[in-house]
Structure 1
């Protein structure tokens, strides 16, 4: 039996992996995913196969686009609405309505505890950064980044919306078994989250570009609404008050507060041929289902900014006659910042609330051979927010099919993902061996930047339920 000091030492030795560790796609469907399963569905903490599952550190980096790879570090260090759209070498499918989603998720020391056969609890600590660009003019941004010397293809109208939001959260999870009969099993769970916002940026409006490569004049002008809670100036170029996302990953600012949560259900069909729990077996220690169906609503909640004395400055710009043909992205930002805005359009606002990227997560898991360890999983993640929602991130809709081989010590899985917005298919690979997980949702991540870029690695301490009582 290992002593308690050993676990404390192990935990702190794991912390230096913070900037290299990553998780999620494909791994959250594994029955031995532990804490990470709870992120996808809060009901998974009960009968999780673990007495305790302690996450030391893990990090997930994700980018899905129908146009090109994003400079995620640039966005997370100095988000201003435009600087993430850097596609000098990755132009793929430029239109007037391109879309992009990118996020980082650092899971810090977290734990779930199966303290009773029908009850479990957990404490989950995460630091998150989420970015989406909806409806941007891919031709325009290719042009501004110096990739296209000709204005042809730039013209057109787009309803542009960019939201960048960074926050920390501590979630208290509870799950319970509602039904456990001979053939049917049902569990329910929820996670209530205390949210602390680092800051948010939103740039939205109508961008209209003519055939000459210039922003159109009134009445068909380019109108932009800009809110930046990192800075009190409202200018595109002023980012002096911002700090890199990673530098604060282990901190908690206790400045801008909110409450959020997840809620989920899991049903398992346990026919006689798979329900092999004997009188000496622990039902929490083995898999007994033929088919598992799960559904969860994730990331409910908002974070309020600008309350008390820290008011938000909101600016509305009407841009016209800005020549795109000879303007770089940096000059374009400077030109927008120099546009005068009326006094009535730059008043201090009492507060603004940024919403979390709420989503519906649905999954099917099927054991292929009753006496083997081969599973097929189908999962669909659907964003419940959209481009019209103010101050709210929007998730990319994603369908994932994952064959996997799974045992108590080892799991291997092969996620095949279809990005609905990007109309692209990606194949990945992942591995869990005791304390370590590693993999990615798109193997082409290691070859060249493509519509989906993702990689993860993580380290955890699993204390499994005993198979035999």
Structure 2
């Protein structure tokens, strides 16, 4: 067998990886537009755009904590990665992969304080956690030396690709003086494309390059592993996108702005859409809450504690053939989104110069099976921004690469391009990360206000009869009157001098039957009844004297003592046990004989008649044979009857079983007839 047996085990662990977030340094720009919704859905409201249309944009990046290279040398002829890369192997190296492509997308205002965005997006994530980097390095060598034993360790890997259709809504939540708060939410439909996941627990193995074993020697591995995918690629290597492989997710975001330029003389500042109004901006969001299910998934559970001979190795085509001690589970495979917390502070230093501090934190367990996660990051980004041009220099530190990275980005209105690591990559000989983002869009900016509208009611001051108080155009910019102060304007109030709710056109609700339940909420407005029953008197459907609200069996007559349900009498128990005595089992087994099913079905009928009663099944044997085996046999037979009843629809919550072996005889074990009576399953009522 080739060395690929081992490489197959780590096919997931290629050290490709991604940054904690896409579009690093760009999304916090006030002119980022629809891209901003990907990391804080509240960003789209009160923006500098009327509409922003994304034609195409993408962000992709790589990082890891095992290999460092001079990025631009990698593309030169003759570059030897194995010799020239700076290696930092540990027992638990990490990596992650994220490519983010945004398709046709748009954001737009639907009202002065409300905005929507609709976007399409394709994403791919790969995470590798806790892999022994030295083992990976040795397996990749062409001249790999023999190992007596390699400690692969406990690792976790997941790769997931999917498409998103997202709808975002954002609104201004609070606006008073210098304080401004907005919030947003994104709901997204997820279409799964492909998924791989692998997890190992205390894996060790011994190997050499050619896998030629000395005579009479063996090859040994230990530990356990789980491997799964969105489809069975072993039988069909062609990717098949299943429309049923889908899921849902959502993002939440809040943004607070401090606007010190707001004064009594500048009360119009908050309503100017085309200019920035804050000195400090604080944003917080949680993204990628959700998961998706692959309906045609497959998962293999491997027990790696095994020993192989030379014949085993020669005859196996791959790791899947070599390890036969596995459990295969076909069906739904659930993959979890890389849920993350994002927080940033944006400081308007002077005019069009800003400084942004940002943190991205993964809030999910990176060791969880099939769980994507981000690499935690903090960044500091100075930038210059204007309507048609922005420049930014992100400086960041991420927990995987454990290096400070510096980048550069530019925006020119219809096009943007940038990288969070381009400067570091140009000067460092051991970069562990590289990224790039770019995009094309059509921005439609807010127009500059030509005339003042102090009260923001859409009527310019020169035409407004009440320029400092908002009012409708139908009333010349003045508010409508409300004599009774009930919130319903007099023009719409049917009872203008008596306060009443809006739903009743300003008039108070009536209560004709005086039962304390208003007619609008009263299901029986002409007959008094309690509030708990929507104003109707309580019924007694089965006329047993127990009201339906207290009746556990409202359609069957019963007794007050048994909460309106019929009581299980001694005669009923006798009837059940007469049936149970006819239940026969195979000799010395808990297998029910076929001829007993009729009696068991009779027991089901009786139990269904008393649907609120609970029963205990007690198994007994005669004294023949070993007492301990008889005890277990009695438990198994009682459990077998219980399982049969459950399979026939009796709730498992109503049944329990126990075995007593030879301890409770009801006849003498010295006679054939007595022993036959002692071999029984009894049914009792549990009070």
| TM band (smaller chain) | 0.7 to 0.9
Match among 157, 161, 165 for residue 156 of structure 2: 161
Q: 1:281, CA displacement in angstroms? A: 8.5
Ranges in structure 1 where 5+ consecutive residues have no aligned partner: 1-21, 71-85, 244-251
Match among 425, 441, 459 for residue 460 of structure 1: 441
Asked which structure has the greater CA Rg, the reply is 2
Match among 374, 377, 380 for residue 401 of structure 1: 380
- Counterpart for residue 105 of structure 1: 100
Question: Does 1:424 find its partner at 2:403?
Answer: yes
- Counterpart for residue 655 of structure 2: none
Match among 236, 241, 252 for residue 238 of structure 2: 241
Q: 1:346, CA displacement in angstroms? A: 1.4
398 and 312 in structure 1: CA distance in 2 versus 1, 3 angstrom threshold:
same
1: CA distance between counterparts of 2:386 and 2:409? 14
CA offset digits 1:267-296 (Å, max 9, x no partner): 011112899967598532111111111000
1:25 partner SS: coil
Divergent runs of 4+, >6 A: 151-154, 210-218, 273-278
- How is 1:314-353 mapped onto 2 (pairs within 5 angstroms)? 314-318=300-304, 335-342=318-325, 345-348=327-330, 350-353=331-334
Contact 1:276–1:288 (Cα < 8 Å) also in 2: no
CA offset digits 1:121-166 (Å, max 9, x no partner): 0101101100010011111111111177456899445221110001
Q: 1:364, CA displacement in angstroms? A: 0.6
Match among 278, 284, 288 for residue 295 of structure 1: 284
2: CA distance between counterparts of 1:102 and 1:149? 27
Q: 1:423, CA displacement in angstroms? A: 1.5
Contact 1:162–1:202 (Cα < 8 Å) also in 2: yes
CA offset digits 1:384-406 (Å, max 9, x no partner): 11222221101100111100011
Q: 1:240, CA displacement in angstroms? A: 1.6
2: CA distance between counterparts of 1:281 and 1:183? 9
Give the structure with the higher percent strand: 1
- Counterpart for residue 194 of structure 2: 199
Q: Decide which moves more: 40-49 or 220-229.
A: 220-229
1:346 partner SS: strand
203 and 313 in structure 1: CA distance in 2 versus 1, 3 angstrom threshold:
closer
2: CA distance between counterparts of 1:146 and 1:209? 19
Match among 340, 351, 365 for residue 386 of structure 1: 365
1:141 partner SS: helix
Contact 1:143–1:154 (Cα < 8 Å) also in 2: no
Contact 1:95–1:139 (Cα < 8 Å) also in 2: yes
Q: 1:365, CA displacement in angstroms? A: 0.4
Match among 394, 398, 415 for residue 394 of structure 2: 415
201 and 338 in structure 1: CA distance in 2 versus 1, 3 angstrom threshold:
same
Contact 1:140–1:154 (Cα < 8 Å) also in 2: no
2: CA distance between counterparts of 1:322 and 1:315? 19
Q: Decide which moves more: 280-289 or 388-397.
A: 280-289
2: CA distance between counterparts of 1:36 and 1:69? 31
Q: 1:338, CA displacement in angstroms? A: 2.4
- Counterpart for residue 64 of structure 1: 63
103 and 355 in structure 1: CA distance in 2 versus 1, 3 angstrom threshold:
same
RMSD (Å) for aligned C-alpha atoms: 3.3
1: CA distance between counterparts of 2:52 and 2:83? 43
Q: 1:181, CA displacement in angstroms? A: 1.4
- Counterpart for residue 262 of structure 1: 251
Ranges in structure 2 where 5+ consecutive residues have no aligned partner: 1-20, 70-80, 212-217, 451-687
- How is 1:163-242 mapped onto 2 (pairs within 5 angstroms)? 163-209=158-204, 221-231=222-232, 233=234, 240-242=237-239
Q: 1:49, CA displacement in angstroms? A: 0.8
Give the structure with the higher percent helix: 2
Contact 2:107–2:117 (Cα < 8 Å) also in 1: yes
1: CA distance between counterparts of 2:84 and 2:147? 18
Contact 1:129–1:167 (Cα < 8 Å) also in 2: yes
Contact 2:226–2:299 (Cα < 8 Å) also in 1: no
Contact 1:98–1:135 (Cα < 8 Å) also in 2: yes
How many residue pairs match? The answer is 406
Q: 1:63, CA displacement in angstroms? A: 1.5
- Counterpart for residue 27 of structure 2: 28
2: CA distance between counterparts of 1:143 and 1:399? 33
Question: Does 1:359 find its partner at 2:345?
Answer: no
2: CA distance between counterparts of 1:201 and 1:392? 11
2: CA distance between counterparts of 1:458 and 1:465? 21
